[in-house]
Amino acid sequence: MAGKTLYDKLWESHVVREESDGTCLLYIDRHLVHEVTSAQAFEGMRLAGRKAWRAASIVANPDHNTPTDHWEEGIKDPISRLQVETLDANIRDFGALVYFPFKHANQGIIHVIGPENGTTLPGTTVVCGDSHTSTHGAFGALAHGIGTSEVEHVLATQTLVAKRSQRMLVKVEGQLGKEVTAKDVALAIIGKIGTAGGNGYAIEFGGSAIRGLSIEGRMTLCNMTIEAGARAGLVAPDEKTVEYLKGRTYAPKGADWDKAVAYWATLTSDPDARFDAVVELDAARIEPQVTWGTSPEQVLPVGARVPNPAREADLQKRTGIERALQYMGLAADTPISEIRVDKVFIGSCTNSRIEDLRAAAIVVKGRKKAPGVKLVLVVPGSGIVKRQAEAEGLDKVFVDAGFEWREPGCSMCLAMNADRLEPGERCASTSNRNFEGRQGAGGRTHLVSPAMAAAAAIVGHFVDIRNPF
Amino acid sequence: MKAFKQIDGLVCPLDRANVDTDAIIPKQFLKSIKRTGFGPYLFDEWRYADHGEPGMDCSHRPLRADFVLNLARYKGAQILLARDNFGCGSSREHAPWAIEDYGFQVIIAPSFADIFFSNCYKNGILPIVLPAVMIDRLFAECDANPGYRLSVDLESQKLTLPSGESFGFEVQSHRKHCLLNGLDEIGLTLQHADEIKAFETRHKATQSWLFAQGA
């Protein structure tokens, strides 16, 4: 019998019961909750007179709607404010292990605070009404986004009705080039397999280049798994994972720690495990990436030119390219390095951790924002990230360059708060989605790594950061 | 949940791949704390020429005449014909809420994004996956024949064309059972509460740290 994949081990250790058609009740260890996708679930619980099955599984905080400046003025938009206050009331009524209300010192993006406080652990199941829950797979946790009906189901039963996914191994071997980051790896993978390439799969990332990534880099990679269509991404825990978790607030302590570390060591795919699909990439060939279209799969190395639809034989694809170029206001064959930006956004659950801010600051130090760039927002992922960055003086580097240093939150990744693009504005963004209107109606998004975004802010257009600029 | 059994409905074709949930229902409408009332804002940026905000009365908003939902021949459509990877991106259940509130009960596509696919079943919407060649044919027939209707029967898992030709489609039996009967999944799961408790006891024994004081 073939060995087991990491995904299968995680799955099988959480099956409560299984129906004849393979539908399972899967036990959920951690339930992350934010304000946008939970109100209707709590309302459903109330109407049915139900209590939370295990409130101590809940880690919650508002992040999508919260402003990133003038916190002393509160949340000005009354609809946003009501949604955040509704979360306050729901957590008060139903309970939680961790709750950071708006303006709490540790508040942040839910996918940043879970790992930061040690509630995300290897071997656990983690769900959240948010597709970027895949982030937590970086720890060897089975983590994925769910809908609001499922949020209610998990609140009421601590389980999810689910069927096992197929398993895909994405193997990246070799050494990543200078200035090539986890974000570039993620975009290169999506460029290769497409935004639907991972539909129906859970992806395990393996290979020497993945093992070489830091835990924060692995979070960036797993975060973007959903943009490849796979709900869950996984990296097997190793000594870096253990090192990262040690001493965190909710990480196991004492004898529990030793037991946990021993258990986590078993969480790898067996050498003879079978995957339903295997995709291989050569790390050395991955270059800094820039998306040019309105889907994350519309991505190219920074040295390339925007595609020409006339060269696409497939009618569906040609129409797709034409539509994307029109929306993006780009002419076919334009060198990517000639695309000028109006705004720059450094933040989001993809790239708002301390290493991301450091990478951006190295590029920015001693330089100024290009005159043509209207706004550069730097939005740390959490209060803890913000304080760490300030302790290192990164905030000064950004402010001296003419960037804005903001309070933590989701901000211009999805523009539910006041941070947004105006119609026609073009943005270099470290976020995860370049969909039409994602960062504001009519806004044009180019996804890049933090260093690439910072360089675009300094020069005013995209540049290959591997060369002097 | 509302049950779904069968339908004979007008088909509306949306001919683009990778339709994401941001397009289905833009972010500003996610500020609502209700489950209903999203239908008028379905595909808001593609459908209207102005910028939509929650609470707006859509009856007088300027329409984008070329968007398929605004064409007279597709008024009252209950079946949405779509392309690959429909519903990708954000997990927002507001997307199926908006689709259902607008009046669609069936979506037919060559493939769906996983989270959206699952969210449909929680809201009485049947997502049907058909081979790409079949989808191409449906698009062509729909385009050529105003008033093009399809008949969908969940019990027999059959899609019937106006010509009388029938095609089968796949549905997971658990999902089919819930959808046919409009079952409350939480109620069903809680029938197994003892098994969940027993699992929890075993789980505590192997991963005690997940249940430790303060964690």
Give B129-178 as a 3 state SS string: ECCHHHHHHHHHHHHHCCCCEEEEECCCCEEECCCCCEEECCCCHHHHHH
**CA–CA separation, A356 and A176 (whole Å):** 17
**Is pLDDT of A90 > 60?**
yes
Query: Has residue B215 got a pLDDT over 70?
Result: no
> Nearest CB to A37: which of B45, B92, B211?
B92
Min Cα separation B174/chain A (Å): 7
| pLDDT tens string A212-264 | 999 999 999 999 999 999 999 999 999 999 999 999 999 999 999 999 999 99
Confidence band of A315 (pLDDT split at 50, 70, 90): confident
Using CA atoms, how far apart are residues B213 and B134, in angstroms rounded to an integer?
57
Residue labelled with tokens 């905080």: A61
A257 touches chain B (CB under 8 A): yes
Which pLDDT belongs to residue A2?
82
Q: Which of residues 100-159 of B touch A (CB under 8 A)?
A: 111-115, 118-119, 122-123
Neighbours of A400 (CB within 10 A): 15
Q: Where are the alpha helices (DSSP H) in chain B?
A: 21-24, 44-47, 94-102, 114-121, 132-144, 173-181, 185-190, 193-206
The rounded distance, in Å, linking the Cα atoms of A317 and A1 is 42
Distant-in-sequence, close-in-space partners of A292: CB < 8 Å, separation ≥ 6: A298, A299, A300, A306, A307, A324, A328, A330, A336, A339, A446
- Structure confidence at residue A347 (pLDDT): 98
For residue A1, pLDDT beyond 80? no
Q: Can you give the pLDDT at residue A162?
A: 96
Tell me the C-alpha distance between B99 and B122, whole Å: 13
Q: Which residues of B touch A126 (CB under 8 A)?
A: none
Task: Enumerate the residues of chain B whose CB falls inside 8 A of the CB of residue A19.
Answer: 173-174
CB contact under 8 A, B215 and A319: no
Helices and strands, counts by H and E, chain A: 15, 19
For chain A, what percent of residues have pLDDT higher than 70? Answer: 100
Q: Which long-range contacts (CB under 8 A, 24 or more apart) does A384-389 make?
A: A384/A106, A384/A108, A384/A113, A384/A116, A385/A108, A385/A112, A385/A116, A385/A352, A385/A353, A385/A354, A385/A357, A387/A105, A388/A354, A389/A354, A389/A357
Q: B54 touching A, CB under 8 A?
A: yes
Q: What's the pLDDT at B172?
A: 95
Q: How many CA atoms lie within 13 A of A363 on its CB side?
A: 27
Q: Name the pTM for this structure.
A: 0.97
Give pLDDT, residue A4.
Answer: 98
Q: Which residue shows structure tokens 């960037």?
A: A403
Q: Is pLDDT at B213 greater than 70 in this prediction?
A: no
Instruction: Domain B6-184: give its CATH superfamily.
Output: Aconitase, domain 4 (3.20.19.10)
Do A195 and B18 lie within an 8 Å CB cutoff? yes
pLDDT tens-place string over residues B117-161: 999 999 999 999 999 999 999 999 999 999 999 999 999 999 999
Nearest chain B residue (CA) to A44: B35
Local structure of A206: helix, strand or coil: strand
Chain B, nearest residue to A201 by Cα: B114
CB within 8 Å of chain B, chain A residues 192-251: 195-196, 199-200, 226-227, 229-231, 250
For chain B, what percent of residues have pLDDT higher than 70?
A: 99
| CA gap A236, A267 in Å, rounded | 6
* pLDDT at position A64: 97
Dist. CA B30–CA B53, nearest whole Å: 10
Interface of A with B in 39-78 (CB under 8 A): 39-40, 43, 48, 50, 53-54, 56, 64-65, 77
CB of B166 within 8 Å of any CB in chain A?
no
Instruction: Report the pLDDT averaged over residues B203-211.
Output: 94
Provide the mean pLDDT of chain B: 96
Query: Which tokens belong to A379?
Result: 């939005």
> Per-residue confidence at B214, pLDDT binned at 50, 70, 90?
low
**ipTM of this complex > 0.90?**
yes
| pLDDT of residue A95 exceeding 70 | yes
Distance in Å, alpha carbon of B36 to nearest chain A alpha carbon? 10
Band the pLDDT of A35: cuts 50, 70, 90. Answer: very high
Q: How confident is the model at residue A70 (pLDDT cuts 50, 70, 90)?
A: very high
Residue A318 belongs to what H/E stretch? Answer: helix A315-328
Q: Which residues of A touch B28 (CB under 8 A)?
A: 416
Q: What is the mean pLDDT of residues A91-97?
A: 97
In chain A, which among 349-388 make CB contacts under 8 A with chain B?
none
Instruction: Please state, in angstroms and rounded to a whole number, the distance separating the CA atoms of residues B46 and B66.
Output: 9
Please say if the pLDDT value at position A170 is more than 80: yes
Instruction: Please identify among residues 109-128 of chain A the ones whose CB lies closer than 8 Å to any CB of chain B.
Output: 119, 121, 123-124
